[in-house]
Each structure stands twice: as C-alpha cells, then as structure tokens.
Amino acid sequence: MKELVLASHNQGKLKELQALLGQQINIRSIGEFTSIEAEETGLSFIENAILKARYAAKISGLPALADDSGLAVDYLGGAPGIYSARYADGQGDAANNAKLLKALEGVASSQRTAQFVCVLALVQHADDPLPIICEGLWQGQILQAAKGEHGFGYDPLFWVPETQCSSAELTPEQKNQLSHRARAMQLLKKRLAL
C-alpha cells in the first residue's frame, strides 16, 4: 500500500497523522473526493471509525484510514466522548472548550482526570471484513483555564503529567511522541510492519 485516504477534512489531523505515519505511505484527504462527511451514527469510537473508513474507501476507491478520537472526562461519565468535536453544537474549538470549563466549574483538580482517546480503523476496501483497529489512550487532567498556543481541539485544557504542561504547550514533535494518536499509530505501524 503506497497511498490511502484519510476519512477527515481536518487539516490538523491530516498533518499530524502523516507525520506519525512517515513517508512510506502518502495520506490523501477525503476532501479531494467529496465535501460530504460520513454520518457518525455509532455509539463508540470504534463504530464511528469503521463507519468513516468504509465511507472514505467507497468514495475514493483507495484503502482508507479513519481516526475517531475525542476527550473522555471521568467526572462527566466519559463526556464529551464521541461528541467531542461537536460538543458545543458545531461552534468550534473555543466554544467546545468554554462548554467543558463550564461543565467542570467548581470541580476539584483531583476529580478532573481525563483521557484523550484515539481509535484508528484501516480498511483495504469498503467491504473489508477484517478492518485493522488500533486504540491509543493519553491520560491527563483538565485545567481550570486554557494554556498554550499549539495544537487544536482541547489541547489547551489538557494537562500532561509527564511533561508538567498542557498539550498545547508541547511542540508538534513532542506531541507526536506522547499523544493518543501517536500511541494508536505506533500500534498500526507494527500491524503494517512499517
């Protein structure tokens, strides 16, 4: 496999995954083939990743990689979870972050544990009966206020204990060594023998 399509229009995610995968495989965006997103009707990260991968493979005719990822906050019962990107009704990262801070208002730091979750699903074709599934978890805590300028999504609110800073304070290189996506991609690379 020399090329695959990523089932996402998110350029930040495309750039991050290409850096993690390396140059052996070229990743193209589903945006080259359609502006329509796959319907995420699953109730888990795994279900949604498979749905998106199958859709991208069908539209593009290429092997497809889908990433379904999000933030699961323990105090909130795993929310925003699979709804992370549209937590604030699709109003974007700033609105999502504001809603999360509001939901955790007054909650002690010790109860603000969370993990970024990434599930990668790779299908060779739309009807692939054996998708490759790889999961990565990144443990941390939700800060009281945003810190840092890098990254996207909930990165400014996600405290990384091993580096003693927020995810948004890490360089892209550091993040690509530690993140949930990095962990899932390491598993995928092993599965693909890259």
Angle (CA) 156-15-30 rounded to 5° is 115
For 3-16, write each residue's pLDDT tens digit: 999 999 888 788 88
3-state secondary structure of 6: strand
Distance CA(136)–CA(182), nearest Å, equals: 7
pTM of the model: 0.90
Cα separation, 124 vs 131, in Å, equals: 8
Q: How many domains does the chain have?
A: 1
Residue carrying the six token digits 């502006």: 35
Active site residue 68: yes
Using one digit for the tens of pLDDT, what is the confidence trace for 69-94?
999 999 999 999 999 999 999 899 99
CATH number of the domain encompassing residue 87: 3.90.950.10
- The partner residues of 185 in beta bridges, in order of sequence, read none
Q: Are 113 and 81 in contact (CB under 8 A)?
A: no
From the list 67, 68, 93, 155, the catalytic residue is 68
Residue 45 is part of which domain span?
3-191
CA separation (Å) from 144 to 57, 127, 161?
A: 41, 45, 15
Place of tokens 């693909």: 192
Over residues 112-121, the pLDDT tens digits come to 999 999 999 9
